[in-house]
Structure 1
Amino acid sequence: MAKPPSDRFDTIPADLHRTGAHRGPRRKGRGWIAFAWAALATGVIVAGGVITLAVINDSIKFDDLIGGSTASTPTPTPTPEITPVVDPAVTVTVLNGTETVGLAASVGDSMREAGWAGIGSTANASATDFKTTTVYYVDPAHEAAALGLANSLFTKATADAAANGVTLSITAIRVEQSDQFQGAQLTVVLGADFLEPSTDGSTDEPVQ
């Protein structure tokens, strides 16, 4: 292949200097400045997003985001204490769960004298081997009256034991909510513990 002839553009003068627009040397620190601006822009975007979400849903807690104090644990509401009462208006059924004849009628009369005017039916229970005397109530609204009736029954049992010179084997009458007895607002089922006080001074409750 033939070589083209030389011309004036093939020879570069030794004293030729750069002319026209050229980038000058970079200044020191310009990289950090760019990084700072980028970080600032990112922070503004994040803050704007958080504020927007807070407006949409106020469930965002800024205290939690910035390490503020944590929410305090709610204090549980204490269960109100039920005070026993003698309520002559409530209806009461007395059932004899033992083999002692006439026990329900006798206890019913004693409870009327103690202020329980609502004593109604006094009868034998379906079984005669009931061990623990229990006061049953259906409606929670009658719990205070059930506790009051249990206290009245325990007072009678204590008096009967003292009259016979013996010590009761129980320290209280059991109270229980149940829908088993629907005939009255309160139902007493008399058990063997109401009849058999201990003669050795023991106050342990009988085994059920």
Structure 2
Amino acid sequence: MPQPVRDRFDDVPRTSGRVGAHRAEAPGMNGWAVLLWSFVAALILIVVGIFATLVAQQRITLFPVAEESVAPAPEETGVVDMTYSVLVLNATPEDGLDAQVRETLINAQWPDELISYGDAGTQDFAETTVYYVSDAEREAALGLADLIGGALVDQSDIYADPNDPEQKQLVVVVGLDRSSAQPESTETPAE
């Protein structure tokens, strides 16, 4: 058998009886420290992941934009002008609501001869509304709406008198919001 060739490692003195590659444990690392660092790293990754998800879903805003403060619009107030004639129409199935509004106006010192009332052509008008014809009558309509306990105000020429376009008239249409009676339902109850 041939003799192996000598190299530089053959001259290294042998201090231990072990031959071959052996790995020793790293000094200063024990199992509990490794476990603790693993938990800390996992916790950091979870928190960063949740935060990134909330930012991506826009549930958290990193740099909020300052909102411009907008001054609220001043509330319109009306003027009670008792020189207007008032027509009160009951547009509900409950009788007497037009007379109640008339009595409210009379109790507020509105001249009795300027108030007329009656039933409207419909019984399912949703909200009580004060109608006026021209822009100049808006404040008087707002004042009347406040006087009867609040109502919508709308401009419309549907109630204008074609024979006397200069007549100062406001129209109150009493709606279901003032009625305790409900409109008759056309549906049959389920059996």
Structure showing greater Rg: 1
TM-score by length of 2: 0.48
TM-score by length of 1: 0.44
Which fold has the larger relative contact order, with Cα–Cα distance below 8 Å and residues 6 or more apart in sequence?
Answer: 2
